[in-house]
Amino acid sequence: MGSSAYYDAAAALVMPTLCGLSILVVAVAAERGWSLIGRLGEQRQARRLLKEAGQERQAAAPGTAGAKTKGRSRPRGAFERVYRSWRRSRFHRGTVEQSVTLEEGLLERNVWILECAASISPLVGILGTLVGISKSFGGFDGLAGLQPAVVSRGISLALRSTAAGLAIAIAALLLAHAFRKFAEHRTAAVEGFAETLLGIRER
């Protein structure tokens, strides 16, 4: 097998790999986006739960109201999960840390895939650039034997792979950063919510 065959085999792998990475980025972004859309209304829910907690604390001890929540379905989001724990008198500083850690893990799930794609795709693009340039040089068989078709295909592969690799890396990096920031904001909100409940209990 000659060097040209190796270049052809490498060229046949570069663009499908980049296409696979782009599909992976889109799939993870859609999954994370759909998950975060379901959490958009939780801030309003948190305010309502804090109001209920204040009213319950004024009326009676939280432990006496715990039986009301036993028959309900699973909690809808981190705020309700923390609130139910507060009502059942199993709420302390360790519970706050557990709730924040759990919410952070749920929010940052699969974000590492975006970060890996952001790191890998430029390298695959550079590989395609090197293969394309090598194929272009293979089209120079002396001045008399110049093969324009081979040269143009090699340059085309180099440009397309570089552009695709950079585009995927930039998109994945921006999405990962956005999801991380959202996770930081939401975990801070959950922590503040839990701290407020602790303050209500200690009154």
Return the pLDDT at 66.
43
User: Does residue 67 have a pLDDT over 80?
Assistant: no
The structure's pTM equals 0.73
Count the neighbouring beta carbons within 10 Å of the beta carbon of residue 166: 14
- Where are the domains positioned within the chain? 3-201
Residue 198 near residue 96 (C-beta atoms within 8 A): yes
User: Does residue 167 have a pLDDT over 50?
Assistant: yes
* Digit-coded pLDDT (tens) for 23-34: 999 999 999 888
User: Does residue 58 have a pLDDT over 70?
Assistant: no
Return the pLDDT at 71.
44
Average pLDDT over residues 82-111: 74
Residue 86 near residue 68 (C-beta atoms within 8 A): no
User: String of b and e for 17-51 (b: at least 16 CB within 10 Å)?
Assistant: bbeebbebbeebbeebeeeeeebeebeebbeebbe
User: Does residue 13 have a pLDDT over 50?
Assistant: yes
Return the pLDDT at 85.
72
Decide which of 51 and 174 is more confident. 174
Average pLDDT over residues 45-62: 69
Return the pLDDT at 155.
85
Identity of the highest mean pLDDT range in 21-25, 60-64, 182-186: 21-25
Confidence of residue 68 (pLDDT cuts 50, 70, 90): very low
Average of per-residue pLDDT values in the chain: 78
Decide which of 100 and 143 is more confident. 100
Average pLDDT over residues 121-126: 93
